[in-house]
């Protein structure tokens, strides 16, 4: 199923997320919609091929969310990232400076009215009316227009609440100035302070949000701008990287980064791949070695042949994968987005209810209320230039303050940011360690895993088998020639071992006439100059196929206590030709990684297609219980065992080979080792880059910490609103005389959003 990602402008809170999600879900041809506030993106699948993307983009724009289809052009991303860095926050920074300049004059007005500054114009109410008008028309204009636009389209959001609060304060003050007989107090400072604090909060929030997503920027920085291409005369010249093409020969100097996916054709050097695979130690690159785009050449000049460029390189695909992860929210966020979507309606209702309660009902319940508590959190002795509601002498004045405070203190922003900020930070930290989660939902699943199943070959072991010995009654070289010839068209690690050994012994390969692969068992076929059917595979399969095991080679095998080797049988027709013993060593970090996982109280299993003795020996080395080991399993048997475990556990499967792909797909969480096959990676939910297992423990622990952070953020976001809204509505005023002015409410609202983002950044 094809997917589309959109870049969406105009989203400010969880209510916006819910609105965009509803628009996309109600559009024909969309499925599995996911909208992310932090990355300002939407991700959805195309259902049944019925999709009119132009209508969707038009509908989003009409609702205040201008959008465009996400560009997958790698060079465009790099240019855009550079442009963002160059002009980062410049426009918002100018708006913030303007808003704070107005705020400064407003504060000076307080001082002038109090007699601290002898400059009459600063204390003039018309001057402050002009300040408030300027604040609404310039720094606050986009917020107000967007807020009312959403309100009139019955899709209120955070901007709607701010716009209603600011314009209510301004309108009340303007009425007081023009019609003094209304008895309304003047508080032109409130719109200025409200907008100043809100713009400050959003600026700091954007700064913090940018920091949460800087992992992609760091990866884009790995792409050099230029490369040295070698011409037909053997001379090098500097060219732009985007002009490179597959097949070009380039030169990479010590200290330079590899500009594309390349093959070493001359020289050797140490290569730093830590930013791409998480491997901390440099690797040795010799002739024939594949180098990843973005790798750092440390100590010697290399000549390379370009294999892949641009969007096809490993670096570009890594960036795409992380972007995809960050754009998809886990299920834990869905409830928050649904609540945030309805939240603004609740706030509007609460604000309206508060207004009528304090205007018409409160003084009937507490007749002396205004005389007993004639103060607020911000005190003032001014007459015309008051903070909203201070010294309120009528129930209407008090009702205005509290209803406006309710509007501006509510914070669906925090609800919308609670999850995506943490997911973005987590995916970035995981990528630096060489761990790639394919979506925020995969991180949530990883946090619940209690059972891990390991494949053996290529997962716990290096996956580079080698021929150890032969058990043959006649000619070892003929045994190897026959088996390697039949395995020429196989990509199985054992086939590679046989082929390498035959090449080392300079044996000629026989031409294949006919071939058939038996998954998990072996391979059979016919070879040129060999009379009869040749079979190469495990002993059980050969016996089931009617191969005669009553000859000397079998006796030789039984008499040897060979535990760590895999035994490959070779037969021609029904006659056993002999056995080849193939060994495979453990990865260097396997023991340490398994020890760490065992300490986390996880249930660990090894499911292998190898023979019993080999699996038992691996289990002994790694301290597995015998009950946790299963051997001689075919792919469908692995699946059956996984399904059985899934009935009571959350199961992760770790594998690397073609035979592991079904098991990876069937488990709750499929984890592919990066050195494995492409099909294994495609079916996995998590990819461990490089050749190490040590990222597995870190990834699972990080997933648990991530979900805990999300829960903390959601608790804070919900808790803040549960406390702040009643406080703003005046619940403490009758007994304790505590009021919350709208400017303080705006400041608290900004702090709420920033707190959520900073908590995400504290993830380790």
User: Which residues have a catalytic role annotated?
Assistant: 455
Residue 237 burial class via C-beta count within 10 angstroms: exposed 0-12, middle 13-18, buried 19 and up: exposed
81: its two tokens: 């990232």
82: its two tokens: 């550079």
Distance from CA of residue 610 to its chain's centroid? Answer: 36
Q: Alpha-carbon distance 408 to 580, whole Å?
A: 77
Helix (H) or strand (E) holding 366: none
Local structure of residue 392 (DSSP, 8 states)? -
Q: Alpha-carbon distance 21 to 12, whole Å?
A: 14
Residues with Cβ < 8 Å from 515, sequence gap 6 or more? 486, 489, 523, 524, 525, 526
Angle between helices 590-599 and 694-728 (to 10 degrees): 40
Closest CA to 284 of 692, 295, 253: 295
DSSP per residue over 461-504, as a string?
A: B-S--EEEEEE-SS-HHHHHHHHHHHGGG---HHHHHHHHHHHH
∠ CA 341-343-344, nearest 5°, is 95
Other Cβ atoms within 10 Å of 721 Cβ, number: 22
List of long-range contacts for 718-726, beta carbons under 8 Å, 24+ apart:
718/415, 720/411, 720/414, 720/752, 721/343, 721/410, 721/411, 721/414, 721/415, 724/409, 724/410, 724/411, 724/748, 724/749, 724/752, 725/347, 725/350, 725/406, 725/409, 725/410
Residue 243 burial class via C-beta count within 10 angstroms: exposed 0-12, middle 13-18, buried 19 and up: exposed
Question: Which residue(s) pair with 467 in the sheet?
Answer: 582
305: left (phi > 0), else alpha (psi -120 to 50), else beta?
beta
673: its two tokens: 């080792």
User: Measuring CA to CA, how many Å separate 180 from each of 175, 184, 186, 566?
Assistant: 7, 7, 9, 96
Residues with Cβ < 8 Å from 79, sequence gap 6 or more? none
Other Cβ atoms within 10 Å of 367 Cβ, number: 10
Per-residue burial over 580-609, b if 16 or more Cβ lie within 10 Å, else e, is: bbbbbebbeebeebbebbeeeebbbbbbbb
Question: Which residue(s) pair with 112 in the sheet?
Answer: none
Helix (H, G, I), strand (E, B) or coil at 614: helix
Q: Alpha-carbon distance 668 to 682, whole Å?
A: 15
Residues with Cβ < 8 Å from 489, sequence gap 6 or more? 512, 515
240: its two tokens: 């732009």
326: its two tokens: 């960050």
For the chain, how far is it from start to end, CA to CA, in angstroms? 35
């Amino acid at each position: 199923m094809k997917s589309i990602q959109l870049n969406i402008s105009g989203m400010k809170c969880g209510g916006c997320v819910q609105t965009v999600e509803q628009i996309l879900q109600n559009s024909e041809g969309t499925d599995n919609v996911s909208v992310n506030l932090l990355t300002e993106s939407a991700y959805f699948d195309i259902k049944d091929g019925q999709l009119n993307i132009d209508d969707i983009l038009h509908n989003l724009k009409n609702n205040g969310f201008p959008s465009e289809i996400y560009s997958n052009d790698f060079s465009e991303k790099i240019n855009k990232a550079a442009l963002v860095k160059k002009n980062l926050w410049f426009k918002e920074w100018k708006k913030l400076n303007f808003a704070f300049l107005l705020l400064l004059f407003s504060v000076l007005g307080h001082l002038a009215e109090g007699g601290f500054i002898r400059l009459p114009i600063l204390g003039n109410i018309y001057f402050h009316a002009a300040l408030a008008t300027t604040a609404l028309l310039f720094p606050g204009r986009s917020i107000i227009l967007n807020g009312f636009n959403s309100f009139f389209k019955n899709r209120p959001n955070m901007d709607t609440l701010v716009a209603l609060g600011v314009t209510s304060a301004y309108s009340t003050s303007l009425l007081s100035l023009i019609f003094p007989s209304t008895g309304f107090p003047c508080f032109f400072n409130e719109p200025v302070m409200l907008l100043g604090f809100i713009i400050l909060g959003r600026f700091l929030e954007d700064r913090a949000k940018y920091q949460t997503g800087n992992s992609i920027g760091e990866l884009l920085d790995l792409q050099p701008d230029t490369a040295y291409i070698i011409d037909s005369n053997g001379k090098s010249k500097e060219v732009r990287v985007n002009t490179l093409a597959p097949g070009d020969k380039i030169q990479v100097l010590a200290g330079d980064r590899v500009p594309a996916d390349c093959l070493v054709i001359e020289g050797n050097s140490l290569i730093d791949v830590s930013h791409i695979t998480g491997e901390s130690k440099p690797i040795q690159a010799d002739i024939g070695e594949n180098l990843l785009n973005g790798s750092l050449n440390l100590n010697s000049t290399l000549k390379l042949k370009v294999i892949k460029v641009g969007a096809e390189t490993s670096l570009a695909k890594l960036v795409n994968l992380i972007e995809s992860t960050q754009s998809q929210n886990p299920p834990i966020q869905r409830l928050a987005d649904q609540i945030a979507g309805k939240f603004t309606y609740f706030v509007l209702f609460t604000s309206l209810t508060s207004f009528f309660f304090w205007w018409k009902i409160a003084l009937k319940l507490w007749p002396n209320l205004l005389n007993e508590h004639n103060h607020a959190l911000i005190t003032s002795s001014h007459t015309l230039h008051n903070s909203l509601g201070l010294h309120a002498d009528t129930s209407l004045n008090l009702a205005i303050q509290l209803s406006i405070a309710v509007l501006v203190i509510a914070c669906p922003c925090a609800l919308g940011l609670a999850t995506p900020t943490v997911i973005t930070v987590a995916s970035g930290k995981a990528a630096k360690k060489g761990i790639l989660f394919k979506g925020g939902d995969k991180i949530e699943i990883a946090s619940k895993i209690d059972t891990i199943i390991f494949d053996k070959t290529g997962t716990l072991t290096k996956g580079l088998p080698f021929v150890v010995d032969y058990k043959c009654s006649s000619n070892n070289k003929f045994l190897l020639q026959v088996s390697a010839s039949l395995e020429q068209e196989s990509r199985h690690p054992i086939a590679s071992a046989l082929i390498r050994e035959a090449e080392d012994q300079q044996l000629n390969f026989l031409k294949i006439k006919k071939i058939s692969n038996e998954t998990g068992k072996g391979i059979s076929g016919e070879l040129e100059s060999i009379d009869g059917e040749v079979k190469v595979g495990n002993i059980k399969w050969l016996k089931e196929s009617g191969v005669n095991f009553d000859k000397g080679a079998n006796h030789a095998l039984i008499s040897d206590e060979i535990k760590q080797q895999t035994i490959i049988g070779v037969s021609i027709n029904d006659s056993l030709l002999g056995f080849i013993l193939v060994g495979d060593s453990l990865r260097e970090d396997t023991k340490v990684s398994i020890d760490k996982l065992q300490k986390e109280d996880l249930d660990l299993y090894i499911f292998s297609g190898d023979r019993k003795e080999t699996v038992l020996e691996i289990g002994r080395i790694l301290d597995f219980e015998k009950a946790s080991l299963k051997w001689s399993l075919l792919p469908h048997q692995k699946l059956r065992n996984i399904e059985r475990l899934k009935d009571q556990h959350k199961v992760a499967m770790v594998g690397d080979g073609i035979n592991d792909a079904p098991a990876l797909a069937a488990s709750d969480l499929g984890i592919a080792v990066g050195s494995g096959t492409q099909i294994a990676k495609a079916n996995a939910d998590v990819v461990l880059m490089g050749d190490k297992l040590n990222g597995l423990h870190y990834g699972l622990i990080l997933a648990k910490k991530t979900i805990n952070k999300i829960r903390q953020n959601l608790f804070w976001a919900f808790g803040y609103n549960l406390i702040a809204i009643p406080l703003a509505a005046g619940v403490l005023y009758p007994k304790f005389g505590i009021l919350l002015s709208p400017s303080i409410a705006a400041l608290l609202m900004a702090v709420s959003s920033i707190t959520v983002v900073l908590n995400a950044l504290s993830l380790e």
